[in-house]
Amino acid sequence: MLFLERALYTLVSYLLTPVVIYRLTWRGLRNRGYFGRWRERFGFFEHPHFSSSIWIHAVSVGEVNAAVPLIEALMKRYPDEQFVVTTITPTGSQRVRSVFGDRVFHVYLPYDLPGSVRRFLARVKPRMALVMETEIWPNLYFICRERGVPIMIANARLSERSLRGYGPVRRLAGRAARCCTLIAAQSEADADRFVRLGAEREQIRVLGNIKYDLAVPRSLAEVGVELRQAWGEARPVWIAASTHESEEVPTLQAHARVLGRFPDALLLIAPRHPERFKAVITLCRAYGFRTSVRSEDGLSAPDSQVFVIDTLGELLKFYAAADVAFVGGSLDAIGGHNVLEPAALGRPVLVGPYTFNFAEITENLLAAGAAERAVDGVRMGSEVARILGDPGRLKNMGDAGARVVERERGAVARTVAVAEQLIAGERLEPEPVAVGAGP
C-alpha cells in the first residue's frame, strides 16, 4: 500500500510540475526573485564537493530568523563542518545570505521529485537533515531514510488547520513523519497533533520553542533612540509589521483614529512581501498621509505621518524605535507572524483574531498582560491610542512581554544537545523530555 501511495503521489507531483512552473512565473511578475535559479529547484547547482555537511531547511524569512540562533550554536559546536541552508522563497534566500554570507552553502530546496531530491542529497552529503517547524515532504523523507540520513524536525509545530490541510495525503504524510529520527515539538499540543498525523510518540520530544531564544543586540536600544531623534523623539510612534494586503487599509484607518487623539503620531508600516512595497507607498499617499519611504528618504521626515519600511532585515531596529507594535498576518486568516520580536524588546503587542501560527506564544503574552487583540482597524486604532495615552500601562505591558520571553528561553540548548546525539549516531532515550510551557 505504501508503494502505491508513494507512486501515485510522485506521479501527481510530476504531472503538476508545469503548473508549478507557471505559478513561479506568475509570482515572478510581482517578485522578480522567483525568475532566478530555477535549476536549483530541480537539484541542479554547482557541485560544492563536500565530504559531508549539516543541512538545515527553513522555508522562508520567519523560519530562517527562528533558525539563526540554532545554526550559530551548531556552527560553534562543529567549526570544521560544512553547513548547508535551504529555503523555498527569495526573501528567505536573501535573509540567509544577509545573515550568514559565505559561512554557509545556500541553495533552494528542490521540488519533492525523486530525481531532484537524489541529485540534491548526492551533492551536499548531509550527516543530518534539520528541518524547521512543519515541512513534511514524503519523497524527501523516504529517500533520506533510504540513505541513512537522520531527520530532525526542529521547533516542530502543527496547528489543527495544518493537520486538516494534509487532506488526501494525510496518511502518506504520517508515514513520512515516521521516517524522522526525532520530532522536537514546541508544545505538548503540537506533539499530540503529530501523533494524530501518524508519527510515533516515541519519536517526539517536547523541547520548547526556540523562537524565545532570539538574540536581541544591546545596541538596538541606542539605534531606536537615534531613529526617534531623527523624526522627533517626543512623538508617539507605533508600528504595523509584516502586514498583508488585506490588512493595509485597516491599518491606515487605525492610524487616522490615532491621529485624531495624537496629531503628531507616526506610523511605521512594514509590508510582509516586497512585491507590496510600491502598492503600500501609493496607498498611503492616496489616503492623504504625508509619507516618507525608507529606500527613498532614509529616515522619516519630522512632519511625516507614515513611514514605509520597504527594506528587508531591519524590522528589529524599527520595533526598537516604536512605542507599540501591531504584528500582521492576524487580521485575516493567515495565522499571524512572530510576536516575540517586539515582546523581547519590551513593546506592547497588538494582534488580530487569527494567531494560530503562534497560538501558544500569543496566549502566553495575552495571559501575562503583554498583548491585546483587535478584531478590525477601528478597534486597533482605539487600542493603540489607549496604550499611547497611558504611560503606566505601556510600560507594564512591555515589561510583561520581556519577562515572558526571558522565562521561556532555553530551547536552543536543548535542541542542540539532541542534535549532537543524532550527528554522533547515538540512540535516543525513548522517554519524552517535557518542559514547562508557561501559564
Domain chopping of the chain, boundaries: 2-208+410-423, 219-407
Residues 144-184 pLDDT 10s: 999 999 999 999 999 888 899 888 889 999 999 999 999 99
* pLDDT of 52 strictly over 70: yes
Residues 85-125 pLDDT 10s: 999 998 899 999 999 999 999 999 999 999 999 999 999 99
Q: State how far the Cα of 396 lies from the Cα of 162, in Å rounded to an integer.
A: 35
Residues 353-365 pLDDT 10s: 999 989 889 999 9
Q: Establish whether domains 2-208+410-423 and 219-407 are of one fold.
A: yes
Q: State how far the Cα of 140 lies from the Cα of 9, in Å rounded to an integer.
A: 12
Q: State how far the Cα of 82 lies from the Cα of 50, in Å rounded to an integer.
A: 7
Average pLDDT value for residue range 326-333: 96
Please check whether residue 146 is in contact with residue 114, taking contact to mean a CB–CB distance below 8 angstroms.
no
Please give the DSSP secondary-structure letter assigned to residue 41: G
Q: State how far the Cα of 418 lies from the Cα of 411, in Å rounded to an integer.
A: 11
* Backbone CA torsion sign across 57, 95, 60, 202: positive
Please check whether residue 304 is in contact with residue 285, taking contact to mean a CB–CB distance below 8 angstroms.
no
Average pLDDT value for residue range 4-27: 85
- Record the cell numbers describing residue 202, joined without a space: 516515541
Please check whether residue 42 is in contact with residue 110, taking contact to mean a CB–CB distance below 8 angstroms.
yes
Angle ∠(416,418,423) on CA atoms, nearest 5: 90
Residue 426: CB atoms within 10 A of its CB come to 10
pLDDT range class, residue 63, cuts 50, 70, 90: very high
Residues 214-254 pLDDT 10s: 888 889 999 999 999 999 989 999 999 999 999 999 999 99
pLDDT range class, residue 437, cuts 50, 70, 90: very low
Please check whether residue 342 is in contact with residue 319, taking contact to mean a CB–CB distance below 8 angstroms.
yes
Residue with cell 512581554: 401
Question: Which of these is catalytic: 40, 63, 247, 248?
Answer: 63
How high is the pLDDT of residue 436?
43
Share of the chain above pLDDT 70, in %: 96
* pLDDT of 30 strictly over 80: no
Q: What is the CATH number of domain 2-208+410-423?
A: 3.40.50.11720
CATH class given for the domain over 219-407: alpha beta
How high is the pLDDT of residue 131?
98
How high is the pLDDT of residue 363?
95
383 is catalytic: no
